[in-house]
Amino acid sequence: MTHTDSQPDQTANPEPVADLSTLPGPDGSTPTNTAGLKRIAVLTSGGDAPGMNAAIRAVVRAATFHGIEVVGVRRGFQGLHEGDMRLLGPRDVANIIQRGGTILLTARSHTWRSPEGRTLGANHLKAWGVQGLIVIGGDGSFHGAHYLQQEHGIPVVGVPGTIDNDLYGTDHTIGYFTAVETALDAVDKLRDTAASHERIFVVEVMGRHAGHIALDVAVAGGAEEVFLPEDEKPDEHIAEVVRLSASKGKASSILIVAEGYPGGGAAVTAAIEAQTGLDTRLTILGHIQRGGSPVSSDRVLASRLGEAAVLALMDGKSDVMVGRGNGGMTFTPLADTWEKRKDVSRDLYRCARTLSI
């Protein structure tokens, strides 16, 4: 339901909000609602990632546990601009932890890029009595959240949800583990047919600005070479990889390419055929990597980050992203998530090259 007037239909939550905040945690600690929050909002923005639903569930249930109501915003910042919002309770998020995609839907908003668009969205939040906003998404989404906080003073906390795993400030992002497993499953199947036909297969995986998916898939899939956006190779090197594999008795080869590598998988395929004349097949996995039921690692990560985002708002934190690093929770300024670079593991890159002999 869309509410766009100044007095939104704030029908009562079908489930009474029980204040369980006095119950201690396993370590004996009791989080306190220092900020005095009574109502917060949550939205998903940008590209979907497996585990977003688990994060939404965690936000709603953690907030309810602490006596805070949650407003769900549909279709990201576009929905916030339009006032497409509704109250969510624990039963509204039942049986979604295993589902891919996002029950709140997502969209890319051009109107949010203007101060006028953000003002309209801020007015909707204020009309609903929202005292803090949790944004689940990537760096583009965090830009929108950051400007909302800067211009209108609404506390915001980001939850990293992107399969690319390219956000500075967290070891892993929601959806990354599932995307790797999806791509790896495809590579395993392609290896069977590559071996049967003694062919070269170039497999393009997602990763526009970073090669985290490509590198993990290359190591786990036993690829002969991996091509990352961070490390462009000359055509002569590409052809030499194939020739070297053949000289070692390999009848087939698998090469993994991140979509952000200059020219993508098509450029690598063309270079091999031009330099060697060998029959080479290109497979672009594309958006299949965004879908599917999240693996356990993504469900656990999303659950922990969703709860952490609620606790961060309760503690008065704002303009930060919650993440995981060094075995614990981290809080990174939103601006750092796009201003600072998260490089691939050079140790893992070396491992991929070493084991491809």
Binding-site residues sit at 47, 57-61, 108-109, 138-141, 162-164, 191, 199, 206-208, 222-224, 248, 250-252, 259, 281, 287-290
Q: Is 171 a catalytic residue?
A: no
Query: Which residue numbers belong to the known binding site for substrate?
Result: 162-164, 199, 206-208, 259, 281, 287-290
34 exposure class (CB count in 10 Å sphere: 0-12, 13-18, 19+): exposed
Which residues are known binding-site members for ATP? Answer: 47, 108-109, 138-141
| Cα angle 340-50-286, degrees, rounded to a multiple of 5 | 80
What are phi and psi for residue 282, nearest 5 degrees? -105, 130
Residue 153's φ and ψ, nearest 5 degrees, are: 70, 15
Binding residues for Mg(2+): 139
Give the span between the Cα atoms of 82 and 357, in whole angstroms: 56
* Count of C-beta atoms within a 10 Å radius of residue 29: 8
* C-alpha atoms less than 13 angstroms from C-alpha of 32 in its C-beta half-sphere: 1
Which residues line the annotated binding site for ADP? 57-61, 191, 222-224, 248, 250-252
Residue partners of 350: CB distance under 8 A and separation at least 6: none
Residue 131: in which H helix or E strand, if any?
none
Sequence-ordered list of residues with C-beta below 8 angstroms from that of 277, at least 6 positions apart, any chain: none
Q: One of 164, 166, 216, 319 is an active-site residue; which one?
A: 164
**Residues marked as catalytic:** 164
